[in-house]
Amino acid sequence: MNFWTKIAGVILRNRYIVLLVIAAITAFLATQMKYMKFSYTEANLLPENHEVNVQYNQFLDIFGEEGNLIILAVNDSTIFTPKKFNAWNQLTEKFKALKEVDFSVSVSDVQKLKADRKNRKFVLEPLLKNEISNQKQISEVKKQLFEKLPFYENLLYNKETQTIQTAIYIKKEIVNTPIRKDFIFDKLIPTIKAFEKQHNIKVRVSGMPYIRTLNAQNIQDEILLFVLGALLITAIIFYFFFRSYRATFITLLVVLIGVTWAFGFIGLFGYEITVLTALIPPLIIVIGVPNAVFLINKYQQEVKKHGNQAKSLQRVISKIGNATLMTNITTASGFATFIFVKSQLLREFGILASVNIISIFILALLIIPIIYSFMALPKKKHLNHLEKKWIDTIVKWMERMVRHNRIAIYITTVIVIALGIIGVYQIRVSGSLIEDMPKGKQFYKDIKFFEKEFGGIMPLEILIDTKKKKGVMKLSTLKRMEKINETIEQFPELSKPLSITNLVKYSKQAYYSGLPKYYQLPTTQEQATIFSYTKNSKGNSNMLNNFIDSTGRYARITTFMKDIGTDKMTDIQDRLNAVIAKNFPTERYEVSLTGKALVFLKGTNYLIKNLIFSLSLAIVLIALFMAWMFRSYQMILISLIPNILPLLITAGLMGFLGIPIKPSTILVFSIAFGISVDDTIHFLAKYRQELQANNWRIKKSVYSALRETGVSMFYTSIVLFFGFLVFTVSSFGGTIALGGLVSITLLFAMVSNLLLLPSLLLSFEKKISNKKIFKEPSIRILPQEDEKENA
């Protein structure tokens, strides 16, 4: 009696205890679901000690959270009527009164800077002293704003389109907390909707806190959609194949418990639900169903052979148990390689996926045989699917192709490899924060509106360290900063920059009676006079505090980026760094480019390098497993080729279809490889059994293995194909690409494993026919059983 036969006996003899243990674990994990929490920040793909993260954290330490700006805008000529103009200003005042808001900058907040010659200081005079009562006053405000106050251009208005906007800065301490979500959904959105309805004006809303909140809610809404979609599609396909309500119910029970465990583990480990971890529950459904297919299919085959239920259940566990264990271990290994990547986001995803994959295997192996042990034997109608002509036709076609058309298979493979390589060279890399966001949602359309009107919403920051107190306000430093500003303005992909130089230029304009032509940095001669006025002035320091720190040592230049590609961003970065290197001597200044968008872009490039490593590690792990099964490097190559080929095809398709490499699509390769190898293991495990039963006759063993495993491999591949297609109903571009690409890869993998793998085995039969290359099988079959099965 071998190991798995003993395991089968233990499971079936202690079925009540096993069910109680499963129920207890499920109840415990269900209680952990309350600890699940959603992420309130963008995914940080870089390790904490990475140089880019260190620079970003330094910026946050000095200036606080950068992503606290929410912007509202109106592009409607009717806003410049007294009633609606006053209502727009009152809307800003409503937000300003809320405890979550730090301060705002709007037309109603505009302060004109004026020189008080008598007291040698600047004073602030509001643009709007009272409510507007007539159209003449509106015209005067427009003239002042659009023609005489260049400081506010691109901050509060677009001169060409006459779009006006309001900047609302929420308190930095709530940006990465649930309070932000409550503020957006319970206060901001309802107030804006009420304003739109009352005044018939479309208000555009954007800014990172707003985008993050709506995006996170979208992820939350889609988890249920994915879980229900995966359950429904897999149940329909499962019933179509097996035509048994009982088998479908048992499978759904297993995967529902698996989903409960998946959510429970997220809560137990204290992980946040992100774009990636949200995929775990539906992923478990999709991966769990093939386990059920193999186990139930084997049970029904055994029942059809001899009609002995106890013997059938024992053989299900003893024969399929080891094979499914190996396939689940390889799948889990594919995901577990993410643990070795230094990104916390991917590490959490890898841990959760690998733990849940092994869990769903254990659940299937225990629950399916135990439930069947309480039931009567399947009726003849439930076994009819084993003799369906259409599936038999498919298997016979595969056998005929392998037997008579191996040259055609190899020629097709070579052509596909060539096309794949051509496609690979056309792949581009994308590190955009918003590219994957749902294109049909209003908040995405608003992002595009702000890109067109004001140059973007994703902040790019330049941190300048002058290495001494009050170093920022030296004219030499301000002139150096202006060089960077001039370079930024040359890029259509970047908005006009905001920095202390804007305030200094505004000060000079105020000194010269507000004439717009003097909106420029003071000369050396003017410096002392204008700066003395500044020192004597008192007023609202919110804007000043946004540009320089309290010591005057650090300054920031803020610009906003459009949704641009990695190549364009690299070009912008190189040109800015060249200007910085030329104008800021390293012995006197330390200047760094940072900001959430740049961190994400750098994270994407870092991720690609690390995931190439993780995929290579997965391939090495599978190769070692094959080496454990077969003592032959030829067998290792033969087993890997059919699984690497689909990855090349998918990479080629990404190149031809213009699907970029990004955090979501890079996962395709590791996920698909880990799952597709399962078919190889099932085929080779059966092939090894047949070799021993057929006295090492390779041809007979290959065809027997193809007939035996072909049906199950076809069933599982179809389930996986449609299961992953569920992700294409997502509104996130990355999730759609992930689902579609994994589905296609697994379909190619099935064809590759059922046609190319057996063809290679037959072509290399002389080199791999030596029985010494095989180790003692891990799936042991009694010789007399083999003979009966192959009779």
- Model pLDDT for residues 471-508, shown as the tens digit of each residue: 998 999 999 999 999 999 998 888 899 899 998 999 99
Per-residue pLDDT at 100 exceeds 50: yes
Structure tokens at 550: 């309290």
Q: What is the DSSP letter of 160?
A: T
Q: Got the DSSP string for 249-309?
A: HHHHHHHHHHHHHHHHHHHHTT-EE-TTGGGHHHHHHHHHHHHHHHHHHHHHHHHHHH--H
For the segment 294-313, what is each residue's pLDDT rounded down to a tens digit? 888 788 878 778 878 888 88
Instruction: Compute the average pLDDT of residues 673-694.
Output: 78
- C-alpha 675/C-alpha 334 separation (Å) is 8
- C-alpha 642/C-alpha 355 separation (Å) is 27
Collect all residues with Cβ–Cβ distance below 8 Å to 13 and sequence separation of at least 6: none
Q: Confirm if 688 and 460 have CB atoms less than 8 A apart.
A: no
Phi-psi region of 594 (alpha: psi -120 to 50; beta: other; left: phi over 0): beta
Per-residue pLDDT at 753 exceeds 80: yes
Q: Is 370 or 612 the better-scoring residue by pLDDT?
A: 370
Amino acid letter, residue 242: F
Question: Cα angle at 594 between 342 and 456, to 5 degrees?
Answer: 115
| Backbone dihedral angles phi then psi of residue 73, each to the nearest 5 degrees | -145, 155
Q: Confirm if 37 and 587 have CB atoms less than 8 A apart.
A: no
Q: Confirm if 12 and 369 have CB atoms less than 8 A apart.
A: yes
Q: Confirm if 437 and 732 have CB atoms less than 8 A apart.
A: yes
| Backbone dihedral angles phi then psi of residue 348, each to the nearest 5 degrees | -65, -45
Collect all residues with Cβ–Cβ distance below 8 Å to 315 and sequence separation of at least 6: 8, 298, 302
- C-alpha 538/C-alpha 111 separation (Å) is 13
Instruction: Compute the average pLDDT of residues 381-391.
Output: 63
> Strand 163-170 relative to strand 69-74: parallel, antiparallel, unpaired?
antiparallel
- Which of 110, 92, 195 is CA-nearest to residue 155? 110
Amino acid letter, residue 548: I
| Backbone dihedral angles phi then psi of residue 459, each to the nearest 5 degrees | -70, 135
Q: Is 676 or 776 the better-scoring residue by pLDDT?
A: 676
pLDDT of 780: 40
- Which of 238, 336, 236, 341 is CA-nearest to residue 296? 238
- C-alpha 414/C-alpha 402 separation (Å) is 16
Per-residue pLDDT at 276 exceeds 80: no
| Backbone dihedral angles phi then psi of residue 485, each to the nearest 5 degrees | -60, -45
| Backbone dihedral angles phi then psi of residue 683, each to the nearest 5 degrees | -65, -50
- C-alpha 147/C-alpha 149 separation (Å) is 6
pLDDT of 386: 58
- C-alpha 268/C-alpha 281 separation (Å) is 15
Q: Is 274 or 551 the better-scoring residue by pLDDT?
A: 551
pLDDT-derived band at 213, boundaries 50, 70, 90? confident
Which percentage of the chain shows pLDDT scores above 70? Answer: 92
pLDDT-derived band at 204, boundaries 50, 70, 90? very high
Most confident option among 221-235, 507-521, 714-728: 507-521
Collect all residues with Cβ–Cβ distance below 8 Å to 112 and sequence separation of at least 6: 124, 125, 126, 127, 144, 149, 510, 514
Per-residue pLDDT at 74 exceeds 70: yes
Instruction: Compute the average pLDDT of residues 191-210.
Output: 92
pLDDT of 578: 92
pLDDT of 274: 77
Least confident of 343-357, 417-431, 756-770: 756-770
pLDDT of 195: 93
Q: Confirm if 613 and 340 have CB atoms less than 8 A apart.
A: yes
- C-alpha 232/C-alpha 55 separation (Å) is 47
Instruction: Compute the average pLDDT of residues 115-139.
Output: 86
Instruction: Compute the average pLDDT of residues 108-132.
Output: 85
- C-alpha 658/C-alpha 677 separation (Å) is 27
pLDDT of 787: 34
Dihedral angle computed from the Cα positions of residues 514, 515, 520 and 526, in that order, rounded to the nearest 10 degrees: -70
> In angstroms, how far is the first alpha carbon of the chain from the final one?
23
Q: What is the mean pLDDT of the chain?
A: 83
pLDDT of 130: 80
Q: What is the CA radius of gyration of the chain?
A: 33
pLDDT of 767: 61
Q: What are the start-end ranges of the H helices in 375-388?
A: 380-383
Question: Cα angle at 232 between 227 and 235, to 5 degrees?
Answer: 120
- C-alpha 58/C-alpha 555 separation (Å) is 12
- C-alpha 435/C-alpha 565 separation (Å) is 9
pLDDT of 214: 86
Query: Which H or E element spans position 115?
Result: strand 111-116
pLDDT-derived band at 765, boundaries 50, 70, 90? low
Per-residue pLDDT at 778 exceeds 60: no
Per-residue pLDDT at 713 exceeds 90: no
According to DSSP, the residues that pair with 5 across neighbouring strands are none
For the segment 524-553, what is each residue's pLDDT rounded down to a tens digit? 888 888 888 887 776 545 566 778 888 889
